[in-house]
Amino acid sequence: MLSQVESHLRSDRFPHIWCPGCGNGIVLSALVRAIEELGYDPDKTVVVSGIGCSSRAAGYLDFNTLHTTHGRALAFATGIKLARPELDVFVLMGDGDATAIGGNHFIHAARRNIDLTAIIFNNSIYGMTGGQYSPLTPPGKRATTAPYGNIERSFDIAELAKGAGATYVARATTYHATMLEKLIVAGARNKGFSVIEAITACPVGYGRRNKMGNGLQMLLWQKEQAVTVKQAEKMSPEELQDKIIIGELYRGEAPEYTAMYEEIIARTKGKNQ
Amino acid sequence: MAEALAIPRAIKIQVRQGWCKGCGICVALCPKEVLSLDGSGKVAVVNPDRCVGCGRCEIHCPDFAIGIEVKEQ
Ligand SMILES: Cc1ncc(C[n+]2csc(CCOP(=O)(O)OP(=O)(O)O)c2C)c(N)n1
Ligand code: SF4
Ligand code: SF4
Ligand code: SF4
Ligand SMILES: [Mg+2]
């Protein structure tokens, strides 16, 4: 399998810059296997990312890649998809990238139901800038900007995406790497805005400060905390506290943005003739 | 099912030490103790014959340093 995966990597840029045990590489690996499984033409596959440790992922991929600015990956991706709707576009973002500075782009991409596949690397922290809390840092957890524990409630990315209008919403952890791969495949096949939240470890900026151990220990913690959608149905809200629900969380139906746009173009062209 | 298991398979374990950062994830997740970290803290294949080709090491390696190829013979 490595040779197939490697055919989509820019091998000359490896070893990558991520810290030992960082989960970003596991998400990247699942994405590559998913694209391989989808059988997409590499020349028609686009990967757009923002800024953050996780967003460095785009630079390691041998597709059409765009490493943009913090919080704006979805804005760039929207432009690409509108100009070239036939391309398959993946958008890689960190939790801070997608829900703090990029929060508005996120909800409006969902509201438009534009056919993009967004993968959010949720490591509960601003990894790249040294461990400031993000909108996904759980209450009570420590960050450089929350030395006594975070007093803010965190977003639920899945609920946020669903509420804003996304038509495919799923979550997996890096421990559940095969599930993550399958969810990316299903999300990419959805004709609309798809959000896949990948719970991933930042041992250096988050784990160490919160006494969660190294990358391996954080991976095993994900295994302990995760419950499948099926298991969660039988659990009370109290039992579900601090649990990570994994699997396909939501599928909806809505008109897709670029298709609507094409329709308008066709209609107005007809009028002008 | 016994028949399926009886199909001889050749498993190739490919490691790239230059990309390995010694996180130990593969070592801990391998169900058959095939892998270990060597003196320099990099992945090493110590029990290749025990490998069942499950691929857990490969999909969890954050550094693309292990590849498993299973060929039915
Ligand atoms: C406009 C702008 N504001 C702030 C920054 C500084 N900055 C870079 S990455 C980052 C946050 C990274 O956190 P996240 O998006 O969760 O990605 P991670 O590094 O955790 O993968 C910030 C605040 C920036 N590069 N640009
Ligand atoms: S700081 Fe955290 S997210 Fe960034 S590379 Fe290191 S472990 Fe990964
Ligand atoms: S494929 Fe499975 S058994 Fe073989 S080394 Fe990897 S984890 Fe161990
Ligand atoms: S999981 Fe990968 S990086 Fe970590 S020790 Fe094993 S081969 Fe090395
Ligand atoms: Mg982050």
Q: What is the per-residue pLDDT across A106-127, written as a single tens digit (0 to 9) for each?
A: 999 999 999 999 999 999 999 9
User: Is the full-model pTM beyond 0.90?
Assistant: yes
Query: By alpha-carbon position, which residue is closest to atom 3 of ligand 4?
Result: B20
Ligand 2 centroid from CA A5, angstroms: 22
Contact A1 B55 (CB under 8 A): yes
A45 - beta bridge partners?
A88
Number of CB atoms found within 10 A of residue A192's CB? 24
Query: By alpha-carbon position, which residue is closest to atom 2 of ligand 4?
Result: B61
Burial class (CB in 10 A: 0-12, 13-18, 19+), A78: buried
Residues of A in contact with B60 (CB under 8 A): 26, 174-175, 177, 219
| DSSP H or E segment with residue A171 | strand A168-173
User: How far apart are alpha carbons A44 and A80 in whole angstroms?
Assistant: 12
Q: Which of A1, A199, A202 to mutate to test the interface with B (most CBs of B within 10 A)?
A: A1
User: How far apart are alpha carbons A104 and A114 in whole angstroms?
Assistant: 14
- Per residue in A33-52, pLDDT tens? 999 999 999 999 999 999 99
Query: Which ligand lies nearest to the CA atom of residue A93 in the structure?
Result: 1
A2-268 placed in CATH 3.40.710.10: no
Q: What ipTM was reported for this prediction?
A: 0.95
Query: Which ligand lies nearest to the CA atom of residue A203 in the structure?
Result: 2
User: How far apart are alpha carbons A98 and A70 in whole angstroms?
Assistant: 9
Contact B62 A216 (CB under 8 A): no
In CATH, the architecture of B2-72 is 2-Layer Sandwich (3.30)
B17 - beta bridge partners?
none
Ligand 3 centroid from CA B56, angstroms: 6
- Judge if the beta carbon of residue A95 lies within 6 A of ligand 1: yes
Percent of chain B with pLDDT over 70: 90
For residue A19, pLDDT beyond 80: yes
A247 - beta bridge partners?
A171
Residues of B in contact with A181 (CB under 8 A): 59
Q: What is the DSSP string of A178-202?
A: HHHHHHHHHHHHSSS-EEEEEE---
Binned at pLDDT 50, 70 and 90, residue A4 comes out as confident
- Per residue in A68-82, pLDDT tens? 999 999 999 999 999
At residue A270, the pLDDT reads 78
| Domains in chain B: boundaries | 2-72
Contact A5 B67 (CB under 8 A): yes
Ligand 2 centroid from CA A243, angstroms: 23
Alpha helices in chain A (DSSP H): 2-6, 24-38, 73-83, 95-96, 103-112, 157-164, 177-189, 215-225, 229-233, 237-240, 257-272
